[in-house]
Homo-oligomer: A and B are copies of this chain.
């Protein structure tokens, strides 16, 4: 199908051939799509279906099906993404426990399931049941003592190494695109870039399997980012089933945006947060229609996950919290401090991680991905095992840190000294002095915090699926909980201080350390990703804490401000730049004072622009031109003297049209004149049959004048999703600006290496 502009212009040629040659309208790998063109093509398709639908009932039904196919795709994506997320959750649960022991009654049961089915279990020793055996019990029949500990330690490391090795090998052999979080690439793809296979079926399969492996191995990574990638693979798969989406790169991206929302929705059980994440962080072109569909997909996915019920509590919410006290104005100060911490950690993390990834790209390090994963896994598990806060899975850790200390809580973090005379209701416990357990926990948390901060820098970016959300949140939650306990103890011991006097009387329950953990988690996540609105929404969907919007928001905004002061790029944009993808960020503002004429090619001193003339070049001339250059297309002008622009011809379509004409049309030889006008030019009597190519000419190429400020050009590229734009002065063609030129110019203006933009 040829360009819409050309089609409407040459309406009489419509019936010539519906799909003139195969592959017309598709793009090369690692190239940028033209959004306007995709949109035109879709409107044409739509028009054709609408006009056909009046012909017969069957066509009418087909047009209805076509109109509803968007919703059907969303339904399918939601169902598959929800199912996959549920399966991953269950598998991770089992394999994480496998590192510690095995269930004798049925080896496919996780620790909890094993003890749950066991009849002898009472409430108190839920975690101790005869069916569940630690490796030391099973292998040497010892459950206590140094040798049992060491054996368990070793088994833990061995399993982790096995999982990690399997994961990295699978990724290397079957689907190299399955590594990383995938969000930088998805952002780039959604902005209109082609990376073939990145969302393919193999990637889907391998990423799902390896995600289970790496999360179970206990590495410092999360499953949230990769789940977005998995959901986008689902989206890509289902959109390939409907020609409406499979044949149009623009429409396909609308589906992918919605799939990303479904991914976050199942990752956190946060459908609205997912939609906002897709809107704020991932998507490029997000019309309102996509907003509604995304919401639908996110909802179906969350609902499917809830039906699978992997956490066994039929809640959508991952870390459900219930706090019994409101927050007080004075607490805003520590919350903002946590925001500052989050911003600093975000900056630190991005800088170090990018430096390390660059090192990996440029030095020998990158040649041994398997070894790297093994080493990092070994270090992680060796250090993690002795500390209870790093040994448990990160989501359990976050859950524990978010928790408010109720009366029945057995956690070390809740080891407060109770007033023996107290006869209060269970859920209204006043602030109490911290016991020994809390002090121990503080030390362990501090060590765990340092460890997490360091190891995450080295983990994110290895050749395995790895998400950042959970480690960032863990860092923030640990810092937050420690601050929270600090404030709590300060308030308990110094009721009379002026900052506490107004709101914290003795015997009252003023400070909830769990809330500080929640705020800290939001701050750190915000510092790394620079999300704000979607972050707060995710946090309160995650915890059900609608009352705590103000603290969360205060921390998120502070964190963003602090982090932005050190550098505007979030981690995903930083990785996009590192990889040199042609991504035109909506958030970057271009404020320099250059004009289109400074950016366009040819520059001064360069050979003139390669153009076609409308009716004087032969087939051979054009073939030579195509052979000698590698441009994606050529402007067509009236003549070389006047240089008045009449249109633009795509390289790909030129090649196909010539090939086609040579095969099928009589009398087309190398000497044939090619013409783009309506009527053939007047030729000498004995000249060969001319070749009409108006069909492939885009009669409405996008032009700007040479005096157009670059900020306007950038805006136009961004909003209209152009691939290239022609530059004219008083109607004469002067040059061309491609997306790559724009990106290079922006890099240059920001004092970066323009060669860092690698693709077209």
A317 to B549, CA, bound (A): 12
Given A295-B553, A549-B299, A700-B707, are A638 and B39 also a contact pair (CB < 8 Å)? Answer: no
Select A732's contact among B280, B303, B317, B731, beta carbons within 8 Å.
B731
Closest B residue to A728 by beta carbon equals B731
**Distance in Å from the Cβ of A53 to the closest Cβ of chain B?**
13
Contact stretch, chosen from A286-294, A467-475, A504-512: A286-294
Contact of A43 among B8, B591, B705, B708 (CB under 8 A): B591
Asked whether B275 lies within 8 Å of A593 as measured between CB atoms, the reply is no
Neighbouring B residues of A720 by C-beta, 8 Å: 715-716, 719-720
Q: 0/1 per residue, A292-324, Cβ < 8 Å to B? A: 100110010011000000000010110000000
Q: Contacts of A728 on B, CB cut-off 8 Å? A: 731
Contact A595 B645 (CB under 8 A): no
In the assembled complex, the CB of A541 is this many whole angstroms from the nearest CB of chain B, namely 7
Q: How far is the CA of A596 from the CA of B711 in the complex (A)?
A: 26
Q: Does any Cβ of B come within 8 Å of A433's Cβ? A: no
The answer, yes or no, to whether A98 is at the interface (CB within 8 Å) is no
Interface 1/0s, chain A 161-175, versus B by CB < 8 A? Answer: 000000000000000
Residues of B within 8 A of A591 (CB): 43, 46-47, 50
CB-contact partner of A730 in B295, B316, B646, under 8 A: B646
Contact A715 B39 (CB under 8 A): yes
Distance (whole angstroms) from the CB of A286 to the closest CB of chain B: 10
- A596: nearest residue on chain B (CB-CB)? B700
The interface residues of chain B lying within 8 Å CB-to-CB of A544 are 546
A709 CB contact (under 8 Å) in B40, B272, B546, B715: B40
The answer to whether the Cβ of A95 comes within 8 Å of any Cβ in the partner chain is: no
Asked if B711 and A700 sit within 8 Å, CB to CB, the answer is: no
Which residues of B sit under 8 angstroms from A8, Cβ to Cβ? 593, 595, 707, 709
State A533–B295 Cα separation when bound (angstroms): 7
- CB pair A271–B549 under 8 Å, yes or no, is yes
Q: Are A587 and B288 in contact (CB under 8 A)?
A: yes
Q: Complex formed: what's the CA distance from A5 to B729 in Å?
A: 13
Contacts of A704 in B (CB 8 A): 700
| Residues on B with beta carbons closer than 8 Å to the beta carbon of A557 | 292, 296
A272-B549, A291-B533, A720-B719 known; A705 and B712 CB under 8 Å? no
Interchain CA distance A46-B711 in the complex, whole Å:
13
Which residues of chain B come closer than 8 Å to A271, judged between CB atoms? 549
For the complex, count residues of A whose C-beta is within 8 A of B. 72
Q: Bound state CA distance, A720 and B646, in angstroms?
A: 24
A586 touches B287 (CB 8 A): yes
Q: How many angstroms between the C-alpha atoms of A719 and B35 in the bound complex?
A: 13
* A560 contact set on B, CB distance < 8 A: 292
User: Which residues from chain B contact A295 at a C-beta distance below 8 Å?
Assistant: 532-533, 536, 553
Give the residues in chain B near A754, CB-CB below 8 Å.
Answer: none
- Any B CB within 8 A of the CB of A699: yes
A561 to B79 Cα, complex, angstroms: 21
Nearest residue (CB) in B for A560 is B292
Are B536 and A272 in contact, with the CB atoms below 8 A?
Answer: yes
Across the interface, do B701 and A275 meet the contact criterion of CB distance under 8 Å?
A: no
Cα(A593)–Cα(B549), bound, Å? 49
Identity of the chain B residue whose Cβ is nearest the Cβ of A719 in the assembled complex: B719
In angstroms, how far is the closest chain B Cβ from the Cβ of A138? Answer: 40
Which residues of chain B come closer than 8 Å to A537, judged between CB atoms?
272
Residues of chain B within 8 A (CB-CB) of A716 are 720
| Interface bits A540-574 vs B (CB < 8 Å: 1, else 0) | 01001011011001000100100000000000000
Q: CB-CB < 8 A to A296: which residues of B?
A: 553, 557
CA distance A156 to B241 in the complex (A): 65
Task: Check if B533 sits within 8 Å of A275, measured CB to CB.
Answer: yes
Q: Which residues of B contact A314 (CB under 8 A)?
A: 326
- Say if the beta carbon of A4 comes within 8 Å of chain B: yes
**A596–B546 alpha-carbon span in the complex (Å):** 51
Check if A9 is an interface residue, CB within 8 A of chain B.
yes
Known: A9-B707, A708-B700, A709-B700. A730 touches B645 (CB 8 A): yes
Neighbouring B residues of A46 by C-beta, 8 Å: 591
With an 8 A cutoff between CB atoms, is A689 at the interface?
A: no
In the complex the two chains form, is B593's CB within 8 Å of A47's CB? yes
User: Which residues of A497-553 have CB atoms within 8 Å of chain B's CB atoms?
Assistant: 532-533, 536-537, 541, 544, 546-547, 549-550, 553
Q: How far apart are the CA atoms of A649 and B593 in the complex, in Å?
A: 22
Complex Cα spacing A586 to B291, Å: 13
Candidate in A272, A302, A544 with the most chain B CB atoms within 10 angstroms: A272
Q: Which residue of B lies closest to A544 (CB)?
A: B546
Q: What residues of B have a CB within 8 angstroms of the CB of A707 in the complex?
A: 5, 8-9, 699-700
Contact with B along A640-662 (1 / 0, CB 8 A): 00001111000000000000000
Known: A541-B546, A546-B541, A586-B288. A9 touches B595 (CB 8 A): yes
Q: Are B291 and A5 in contact (CB under 8 A)?
A: no
A348 close to B (CB within 8 Å): no
- Are A550 and B730 neighbours in the complex by a CB distance under 8 Å? no
Q: Chain B residues with Cβ under 8 A from A272's Cβ?
A: 272, 533, 536-537, 549
Known contacts A645-B730, A720-B716: A705-B701 contact under CB 8 Å: yes
Instruction: Quote the shortest CB–CB distance from A580 to chain B (angstroms).
Output: 23
Residue pair A5, B708 in contact (C-beta under 8 Å): yes
- Answer whether residue A36 sits at the interface, using C-beta atoms and an 8 A cutoff: yes
CB proximity to B under 8 Å, residues A710-727: 711-712, 715-716, 719-720
CA distance in complex: A272, B532 (Å): 11
Complex-state Cα separation, A571 to B391, whole angstroms = 57
A299's closest neighbor in chain B, by CB? B553
User: With the chains together, A70 CA to B604 CA distance in Å?
Assistant: 42
With both beta carbons as reference points, the residue of chain B lying nearest to A710 in the complex is identified as B8
Interface pair B550/A303, CB less than 8 Å apart: yes
Complex Cα distance A704/B703, Å? 7
Q: In the complex the two chains form, is B292's CB within 8 Å of A730's CB?
A: no
Q: Give 10 CB contacts A-B under 8 Å.
A: A8-B593, A8-B595, A46-B591, A272-B536, A291-B532, A295-B532, A296-B557, A314-B326, A544-B546, A716-B720
Known: A47-B591, A546-B546, A638-B730. 15 other contacts (CB 8 A): A5-B712, A8-B595, A9-B595, A39-B711, A39-B712, A39-B715, A280-B288, A289-B587, A295-B553, A541-B546, A644-B731, A699-B705, A716-B720, A719-B719, A720-B720
The 5 closest A-B pairs by CB, nearest first: A731-B731, A700-B708, A699-B707, A644-B731, A719-B719
Measured CB to CB, the residues of A under 8 A from B are 4-5, 8-9, 36, 39-40, 43, 46-47, 50, 271-272, 275, 280, 287-289, 291-292, 295-296, 299, 302-303, 314, 316-317, 326, 532-533, 536-537, 541, 544, 546-547, 549-550, 553, 557, 560, 586-587, 591, 593, 595-596, 638, 644-647, 699-701, 703-705, 707-709, 711-712, 715-716, 719-720, 728, 730-732
